[in-house]
Amino acid sequence: MSGLVPARLSGPDVLRVGLAGLRARPARVVLSALGIAIGIATMVAVIGISSSSKEDLLRRLDRLGTNLLTAEPGGTLFGEEARLPRGSAAMVARIGPVTAVGAVGTVDATVRRTDRIPAEITHGIGVAAASHDLLGTLGTTVRQGAWLNAATARYPGVVLGAEAARRLGTDRPGGRVWIGGRWFTVLGVLDTAELAPEIDRSALVGWESAERYLGFDGHPTTLYERSTDASVEDVRAVLARTVNPEHPEEVEVSRPSDALAAKAAAAGAFTGLLLGLGAVALLVGGVGVANTMVISVLERRREIGLRRSLGATRGQVRIQFLAESLLLSTLGGAAGTVLGAAVTAGFALYRGWPPVVPLWALGGALAATLAIGTAAGLYPAMRAARLSPTAALATV
């Protein structure tokens, strides 16, 4: 006569047994799953918000272009302040691939809302002479009013950067501001210049007007240049020698879009820190699940003994409690994933970013949930399997 062979637990059977164990203690299950949910939600939200921010930066880069270069005076060999030549903008415009050139020159003057305000109160606003082509080179638009042209650039007119207008409390054309001891009419207000934040804090006057009324010496302090995308590096290599052929070492060339790219890269380091905090929260949630499962084993000793006496093997008892732990973790992981995605979408829409939750983040959340569930349930499952039927049934 052959020995008896214990019945095998199929997948659906394991699922039903695991769910039955969870339904018996709903309050404890919800509280334990909450710890897992908080950890998973934190990790998904951190990755999602970081990805949304990076996507917004990349879209801004695509919109603004990466083909803008700037040239500014650096230091001389003797530590003196260098200056760009007067005709440097025209020389740069003769470079073949260059499509647009704009220039600004710092003016030694202050701008104030009225002549009654003391001269030392400048609100951090600088005055600069601007060439006619500056606006088109930067790709910035006029929010209200008009930009400088060949006619208005000769007279006391000023165009305010977005931040300068806010600080002066002048957001409409037609008003007047006090610059260098005389009144200048506000011709327009610019939108934000994302690749040239210094323009936002400036009051821009015409080149001729700055020379006539404010004692400007005509030397540009910053040149802005755009070229075709394919030739940016070639232009960058010759820009300093073109701007100042005699002393190219006194010219500093940079690409403003590099700052946005660096900001996108720096977001990754901050994301790693926050992910570490999310991992700690997930670990705490895993400890809570393990504690719940250990208590469950202690409370259900008679149930375990009864199942063993009816023929359940140690492996089947082990699988039962391991399934409960995995289901408990999966419940918390699913809730945390939904919560994290919702937080990401809400925050991204609030900031005006495109909501992005990478698929690998969702896959990572699922993998982390299964790993925590397995680790948290392994010891309680093994402890339950080691109980002998007689000792378990004798438990009062």
pLDDT in tens, 251-260: 999 888 776 6
Q: Does residue 314 belong to any structural domain of this protein?
A: yes
- Spatial neighbors of 1 by CB under 8 A, at least 6 apart, are none
- Please, which pLDDT band fits residue 218 given cuts at 50, 70 and 90? very high
Query: Cα–Cα distance between 129 and 107 in angstroms, integer?
Result: 7
Residue 126: per-residue pLDDT: 92
Residue 1: per-residue pLDDT: 45
Tally of structural domains, the chain: 2
**Which has the minimum average pLDDT: 26-40, 195-209, 241-255, 260-274?**
260-274
Residue 202: per-residue pLDDT: 95
Q: Do 34 and 180 sit in the same domain of this protein?
A: no
Q: Does residue 3 belong to any structural domain of this protein?
A: no
Question: Could you tell me the maximum CA-CA distance found in the chain, to the nearest angstrom?
Answer: 117
Q: Please tell me whether residue 72 adopts helix, strand or coil conformation.
A: strand
Q: Do 28 and 72 sit in the same domain of this protein?
A: no
Q: Is the pLDDT of residue 213 over 90?
A: yes
The closest of 68, 94, 203 to 148, measured between CA atoms, is 203
In 10 A of CB 366, how many CB atoms?
15
Query: Cα–Cα distance between 236 and 376 in angstroms, integer?
Result: 58
Query: Cα–Cα distance between 149 and 165 in angstroms, integer?
Result: 20
Q: Do 56 and 192 sit in the same domain of this protein?
A: no
Comparing 25 with 48, the larger pLDDT belongs to: 48
- Please, which pLDDT band fits residue 12 given cuts at 50, 70 and 90? confident
Query: Cα–Cα distance between 160 and 151 in angstroms, integer?
Result: 18
Q: Do 91 and 195 sit in the same domain of this protein?
A: yes
Q: Do 168 and 197 sit in the same domain of this protein?
A: yes
Strands 157-160 and 68-73 turn out to be unpaired
Question: Where does a domain end: 256, 284, 310?
Answer: 256
Q: Do 137 and 232 sit in the same domain of this protein?
A: yes
Question: Where does a domain end: 256, 274, 291?
Answer: 256
Q: Does residue 107 belong to any structural domain of this protein?
A: yes
**pLDDT tens digits along 44-66:** 888 888 888 888 877 877 777 78
Q: Do 319 and 382 sit in the same domain of this protein?
A: yes
Q: Do 248 and 284 sit in the same domain of this protein?
A: no
Q: Do 57 and 125 sit in the same domain of this protein?
A: no
- Supply angle C-alpha 82, 87, 89, rounded to 5: 90
DSSP symbol at 355: P
Q: Does residue 4 belong to any structural domain of this protein?
A: no
Q: Do 284 and 367 sit in the same domain of this protein?
A: yes
Comparing 133 with 271, the larger pLDDT belongs to: 133
Q: Does residue 174 belong to any structural domain of this protein?
A: yes
Comparing 283 with 71, the larger pLDDT belongs to: 71
By residue range, what is the domain housing residue 356? 11-61+261-393
CB-neighbour burial class of residue 283 (10 A; exposed 0-12, middle 13-18, buried 19+): middle
Q: Do 20 and 99 sit in the same domain of this protein?
A: no
Strands 111-112 and 142-145 turn out to be unpaired
pLDDT over 90 percentage in the chain: 36
User: Across all residues in the chain, what is the average pLDDT?
Assistant: 84
Q: Does residue 1 belong to any structural domain of this protein?
A: no
Q: Does residue 6 belong to any structural domain of this protein?
A: no
Q: What does the block give as tokens for 230?
A: 């394919």
Q: Do 189 and 212 sit in the same domain of this protein?
A: yes
Q: Does residue 2 belong to any structural domain of this protein?
A: no
Question: Where does a domain end: 221, 256, 291?
Answer: 256
**pLDDT tens digits along 157-208:** 999 999 999 999 887 888 999 998 899 999 999 999 888 889 999 999 999 9
Q: Is the pLDDT of residue 3 over 60?
A: no
